[in-house]
Structure 1
Amino acid sequence: MPETPALTAAEFWEARYRDGGPLWSGRPNALLVREAGDLRPGSALDLGCGEGADAVWLASRGWRVTGVDISHTALERAAVHAAEAGVSDRTVWERHVLGETFPEGSFDLVNAQFLQSPVPLDRQWILRRAAGAVAPGGTLLIVMHACWPSWQTEPPFDAHFPTQRGVLDELALPEDDWTVETLDTVRRQSVSPDGVEGFRADHVWRIRRTDA
């Protein structure tokens, strides 16, 4: 019997969004709020924007935001969220298969929250392109899970969790042109889908481009 072909990243994520209700809470990621709350609004790029919560939060604070995702359904929901929040005029939505295509332009903030996937994702390619999209004086903000949640006794798929140093090595940013402003690991309370209490640990990188 022939093997069933593996889903592409686009097929996987479109099915995740299309075949159910909203995947996320509609609230911005807490570490985005913590790290970007003191930044002066300008232009922002939100990579893997999903249903748009981070982009809408940024837009509500005066940013002009380009939200990027692989899923048509996610982007449609993001546009509805923006309209309901009254920030459609400050948001643009683009579909990209990150790792293959990337939005054009430079931005004062590039936000990459949890670019981790059960299907193949060329993280190094994406993060280097993300750094290249940061305007002089701008900020690259990356947040990733550091490990499985404490209540996950059997990992559902193979995953490589990045280290703080590993991501900096992947980025290979010239030290004379960039300043690491936040390098942190945050432990937060988490609850499994079955109601088991535990915690998650997330790495945070906030890096400012200092070259003119």
Structure 2
Amino acid sequence: MTRQGEGHHHGTDDGGTRQEGRRQQSAAEAWDEKYGSKPQIWSGKPNPQLVREGAGLRPGKALDLGCGEGADAIWLAQQGWTVTAVDISAVALERAARHEKDALDRESVHAGPDAIASRIHWEQCDLDEWQPAETYDLVSSQFLHGPQLVWQAPLRTAAAAVKPGGTLLIVGHHPHRLPPWGNHTAPEMFYTPAQLVQELGIESPGWQVEVNTTRDRVANGPDGQEAVIADTVLRATRLA
């Protein structure tokens, strides 16, 4: 599961803005605490739906929303993508950059002087308000869930960041087939394929939906337990 990012705020004397700033700070601290609780939270492998849907795409510029410890961004870079990877947690981003360096060091052993330099820009930002400065050939959002995150706004940002001819790939937990572990008690945190299309306006003539489905898979919990869960998967091409 990957996460949202913390953002850039402008200080004012407005009480509401200060309260919003405190909420965002507490979210960043909560994720830092989570990532800091263990040397590694996630598997270190790229999300399976990203590999399945992204393997055949022509590399270009990619945006990875909620990059966590960096496995998806590193995989994309290894496929030839130039990646902007964003997340709320400074701890996660520091760990992701370390994982990238380890991957580059391993590659350099085999490639020698032809080793590929870093293709990833790591950025800490608040996806509730963040707006990217450019558009991308691929925008990937993998399991962008959190109790303090309303998913509609950042996923609309994701859709708007896809350039014409580019791909939007959104994967999340289906609300009716959730993992039995972790914080999955609030159904509004999750979405069905139909909800994604409706909320994001992914429809003709501006978009061509390539995949909009639910896929079962076996997932492993933090204590080694297994469960069959369902992923919501949306892949669409922006036409204009």
Normalised to the residue count of structure 1, the TM-score between the two structures is 0.89
- Counterparts of 1:193 and 1:174, CA distance in 2: 38
1:85 matched to 2:123 = no
Which of 91, 98, 107 aligns to 2:136? It is: 107
Amino acid at match of 1:207: A
Contact 1:149 1:190 in 2 (8 A): no
Change (3 A) 1:73 1:63: same
What's the offset of the Cα at 1:10?
1.4
Q: Which has the higher helix share?
A: 2
Which of 201, 206, 215 aligns to 1:186? It is: 215
Contact 1:149 1:198 in 2 (8 A): no
What's the offset of the Cα at 1:49?
0.2
Amino acid at match of 2:168: L
Change (3 A) 1:151 1:139: closer
Residues 7-55 of structure 1 show CA distances to partners (whole Å, capped at 9, x for unaligned) of 8321211111123211111110010000000000000000000010000
- Counterparts of 2:219 and 2:134, CA distance in 1: 37
1:168 is paired with a residue whose SS is helix
1:105 is paired with a residue whose SS is coil
Return 198-207 or 97-106, whichever deviates more: 97-106
Amino acid at match of 1:122: V
Change (3 A) 1:54 1:107: same
Structure 1: which 5+ residue stretches go unaligned? none
Alignment partner, residue 204 of structure 1: 233
Q: Aligned runs of 1:51-66 on 2, under 5 Å?
A: 51-66=69-84
Amino acid at match of 2:80: G
What's the offset of the Cα at 1:145?
0.5
- Counterparts of 2:160 and 2:178, CA distance in 1: 35
Structure 2: which 5+ residue stretches go unaligned? 1-21, 105-115
Residues 152-206 of structure 1 show CA distances to partners (whole Å, capped at 9, x for unaligned) of 2897642323111111111023511100001121101134444443211001000
Amino acid at match of 2:139: V
Which of 114, 127, 130 aligns to 1:98? It is: 127
Alignment partner, residue 21 of structure 1: 39
Change (3 A) 1:38 1:151: closer
Contact 1:150 1:198 in 2 (8 A): no
Change (3 A) 1:156 1:67: closer
- Counterparts of 2:121 and 2:97, CA distance in 1: 8
Amino acid at match of 2:33: A
What's the offset of the Cα at 1:148?
6.4
- Counterparts of 1:72 and 1:155, CA distance in 2: 21
Change (3 A) 1:150 1:53: closer
RMSD of the alignment, in Å?
Answer: 2.2
Alignment partner, residue 113 of structure 2: none
Which of 69, 72, 85 aligns to 1:67? It is: 85
- Counterparts of 1:32 and 1:165, CA distance in 2: 20
